[in-house]
Structure 1
Amino acid sequence: MARYEIAFSGELVPGAQLDVVQANLAKLFQADAQRIALLFSGRRVVIKNNLDEAAAEKYRSTLERAGARVEVVDTEAELVEEIELAPPPAAEPDSRVISQPASQPQRRLQVAPRDEYMAAFADVDAPDFGVAALGTDLQELAPEVPEPALDLSQFSLAPVGSDMGQAKGQPASPAPDTSHLKLV
């Protein structure tokens, strides 16, 4: 069973006025002006998806009566795009290739095409970056930072268990005299 989605890109039916359509859609969707403005941003917005054919047609006709041109898309239809492959380049030297210094010879990547599409990339000249061995540090070592020169001679340590001079709590004040009070 085919499933459909309703998408809106901000297009109006011929003869419709923008402010009238925006008001109709605001009333139809019970939405504020900010949400309606998002619908008219020019981007494709899916309004409803996973609909059967009858429900999709109902949405389309209702929105077109409101003045909005919508797109009904079959979500289960296969989208097949034909790709035309370029012919392989002729074997002539390329002046754009920058030669590597002789001190660092670089291996070149050899690609075996897995299918017809990847065959177009078989002649791509790319460096073989390879994969680092397990446990290799890939980041350069940071320069060692010298310790700061601090003069701590003015400080000393107190012996274990000594009182560090914490403030003593004030003694509790005497309780008020309540002997003259009576409960009635």
Structure 2
Amino acid sequence: MTRFEVVFQGQVQQGAAPEQVRANVSKLFQVSGAQLDALFSGRRIVIKQGLDQVAAEKYRIALERAGAQCSIVAMEEAVEETVIAEPAPAPQPVAAPQPAAAEPAAPSTSGRVIPRDEYMAAFSDVDAPDFGIAPLGADMQDEYNPHTELPIDLSALSLAPVGSDMGEIKRDQATEVPNIDHLKLADD
């Protein structure tokens, strides 16, 4: 069964006021500030993925009622990176709508990686090492040396006994309680 994802790129419907659309989307997704700015940055944002077509349409309708434009893309076609032999095409402007889905190309021998959008293009030239996965139960902690004592003299310090009041300095002399035996209460 084909699964779909709802993709938003910060575009508003024609004739809609951008500030009103931002307010509607903010209320719809209960976000504000930096999260709302990220939604309207023009980057390709996947709102929800792994949906059937009916659920994806519900998201699209809700976003269109808020005044935003989104697209529904089949997840098999929404591949993050595609390996092809041709050089990368020039990035499209942010305001221009992109096609709903691109057909992935067959792998080639050159191994050139083409990103799916402008945001992922920043990572296309990263030469990252190929890390493997450790076997189940393997110790992931690096070897470490036993600690070395620091050259700090702590001999002048001591610990107070358990239950001591550390907040007040005790007075040396006892407080005298005055004798009030000679005082009486009188009824008027």
TM range (shorter): 0.3 to 0.5
The TM-score, its normalising length taken from structure 2, stands at 0.42
Give the number of the structure whose alpha-carbon radius of gyration is greater: 1
Q: Give the TM-score of the pair, scaled to structure 1.
A: 0.43
